[in-house]
Amino acid sequence: MATEVKVPTLGESISEATLGQWLKAPGEAVKADEPIASLETDKVAVEVNSPVDGVMGEQAVAEGATVQVGAVIALVEAGGTAASGATPAPQDRTAVGKAEQAAPAEPASAPVSYGSGEQDNSVPAQGGSGDDNAALTLSPAVRRLVLERHVDPSQIKGTGKDGRITKDDVLAAKPVTARAPEALPASSQAQAPAAAATGGRKEERVRMTRLRQTVARRLKEAQNTAAMLTTFNDVDMTEVIAARARYKDLFEKKHGIRLGFMGFFVKAATLALRDVPGVNGSIEGDEIVYRDYADISVAVSAPQGLVVPVIRDAQDLSFAGVEKTIADFGKRAKDGTLKMEEMKGGTFTISNGGVFGSLMSTPIINPPQSAVLGLHRIEERPVVRDGQIVARPMMYLALSYDHRLVDGREAVSFLVRIKEAIEDPTRLLIDL
């Protein structure tokens, strides 16, 4: 008896998703609650599990297609027997390969093609004993990551099921730079157009992911709605660096997590938000909402883009609690397993561009929040201390805020509170 597999409820206000990758092929054995497909929503990846034990049956939707909540995407034959020699790919590539061979040859736009958009999931395979026209089947999510990071998938050894290339495989691969002609496949060299040899220009068109579309829409909405302004300050990191160096080994031994800089800034922000409540507020209609709690949104980099999970009640957490929460968010963002509810309801955001080398920026607020704190790289700069010019590890801070709610005086006062707490971490312990 066949059991329908439907798109699950994806969260409030989310009615559709993109089928990113089939994790099981027709004919493969599956167990109840075992993931069989991965969906991409506006914010996170969601796995679809098999409702029963059995064998994977018909797949009603192709990878890259848009599906509605409640739609049937596959069938599972309950109690069936797995077919021998089941292939991991949900599509029959043989017919595609024959059609491509029968079609007139067209000049390639580059020595190695990664594909674009949703029209082709394959790339030329290099080396090995097989046919030169063999294809590597990539999921849409992996294919987009290949294009973004400029890597050659034919040089990647897949660690996924049946040797399929995963996102982690792409992230670990080295980007393609300049390669000697003899390193390219013979078939690719033969198809390379004359324009490529003479420095011809290339273009790639790749459909925006749902996450990137959502980020673009929300950031533009923020610019159109809020009266944004940014104020800056700098902070001497000497004392925080010294405290971290002094206690990091003991901290990790006791709590099982590394002591980072973000914990200091989260705790400093909770104190500053208490003293300057407007920065922690928001505008709802013709009312201002003030809060006595701090739900800190922390920008985390993920393979599919930037996500912003929320540290709930950060004012009540210890340093260890903050660091464990951030580490867990980072790991699950990489795995694509963050939940929708974990990225809703933040009252203030901290974004650390310093990990990528940023010296200074003007971050955009995350609506309906009224402010965002931008952290940047630490570098030694000459400063004056007690009449002497000395080198100190300095960091620029940027606070972007909604001027409709937060006045300049409040914004400056907030940054000064952060600066004082970081330059004298004892304040964090005695609540000053």
H-type helices in 72-117, by residue range? 93-102
φ and ψ at 64, to 5 degrees? 95, -10
In a domain, 284, yes or no: yes
Distance, CA of 32 to CA of 50 (rounded, Å): 5
Same domain as 358, residue 336: yes
Could you tell me the pTM of the whole model?
0.61
- Mean pLDDT highest for which of 61-75, 81-95, 114-128, 273-287? 273-287
pLDDT score of 90 more than 80: no
- Judge whether 429 and 267 are in contact, CB under 8 Å: no
Same domain as 97, residue 71: no
**Mean pLDDT value across the chain:** 79
Task: Give the closest residue to 227 by CA, choosing from 362, 401, 348, 408.
Answer: 401
Distance, CA of 5 to CA of 36 (rounded, Å): 9
262-308 confidence digits (pLDDT tens): 999 999 999 999 999 999 999 998 899 999 999 999 988 776 667 88
Task: Indicate the residue among 173, 197, 221 that finishes a domain.
Answer: 197
Residue with tokens 């409040």: 410
In a domain, 415, yes or no: yes
Angle subtended at Cα 73 by Cα 70 and Cα 77, rounded to the nearest 5 degrees: 115
Q: Helix 238-255 vs helix 408-423: angle between axes, to the nearest 10 degrees?
A: 70
Confidence of residue 176 (pLDDT cuts 50, 70, 90): low
**Catalytic entry in 376, 403, 424, 431:** 403
Provide the token pair at 115: 């594909």
Provide the token pair at 126: 């290099």
- Residue 408 sits in a domain whose CATH number is 3.30.559.10
Provide the token pair at 141: 């999510």
Bridge partners of 131, per DSSP, are none
Same domain as 254, residue 192: no
In a domain, 85, yes or no: no
Distance, CA of 170 to CA of 166 (rounded, Å): 7
Distance, CA of 318 to CA of 314 (rounded, Å): 8
Same domain as 382, residue 241: yes
Distance, CA of 33 to CA of 264 (rounded, Å): 40
CA-to-CA dists, residue 372 to 211, 240, 336, 397, angstroms: 20, 22, 24, 11
Q: Is 417 helix (H, G, I), strand (E, B) or coil?
A: helix
Distance, CA of 304 to CA of 22 (rounded, Å): 17
pLDDT at 81: 65
Same domain as 250, residue 187: no
Task: Indicate the residue among 27, 45, 78 that finishes a domain.
Answer: 78
CB atoms under 10 Å from CB of 282, counted, come to: 19
- Residue 72 sits in a domain whose CATH number is 2.40.50.100
Rg (CA), the chain: 26
**Catalytic entry in 53, 168, 328, 407:** 407
Q: Is 263 helix (H, G, I), strand (E, B) or coil?
A: helix
In a domain, 113, yes or no: yes
Same domain as 147, residue 21: no
pLDDT score of 146 more than 90: no
345-388 confidence digits (pLDDT tens): 899 999 999 888 899 999 999 888 999 999 999 999 999 999 99
How many structural domains is the chain composed of? 3
Same domain as 172, residue 262: no
pLDDT at 119: 38
Q: Helix 238-255 vs helix 319-335: angle between axes, to the nearest 10 degrees?
A: 80
In a domain, 359, yes or no: yes
318-333 confidence digits (pLDDT tens): 999 999 999 999 888 8
- Residue 171 sits in a domain whose CATH number is 4.10.320.10
In a domain, 205, yes or no: no
- Supply the range of the domain harboring residue 239: 210-430
179-216 confidence digits (pLDDT tens): 444 444 444 444 545 544 556 898 888 877 777 777 78
In a domain, 88, yes or no: no
Same domain as 411, residue 346: yes
Residue with tokens 């080396």: 127
CA-to-CA dists, residue 294 to 85, 239, 246, angstroms: 55, 25, 29
Task: Identify which has the larger pLDDT, 113 or 238.
Answer: 238
Same domain as 119, residue 9: no
Provide the token pair at 74: 């596959």
CA-to-CA dists, residue 264 to 240, 418, 429, angstroms: 8, 10, 11
pLDDT > 70: percent of the chain: 76
403 labelled catalytic = yes
Average pLDDT over residues 402-423: 95
376 labelled catalytic = no
Same domain as 54, residue 30: yes
In a domain, 83, yes or no: no
Distance, CA of 372 to CA of 363 (rounded, Å): 7
Same domain as 307, residue 397: yes
Residue with tokens 């867990």: 328
Same domain as 314, residue 166: no
CB atoms under 10 Å from CB of 180, counted, come to: 6
Task: Indicate the residue among 140, 162, 197 that finishes a domain.
Answer: 197
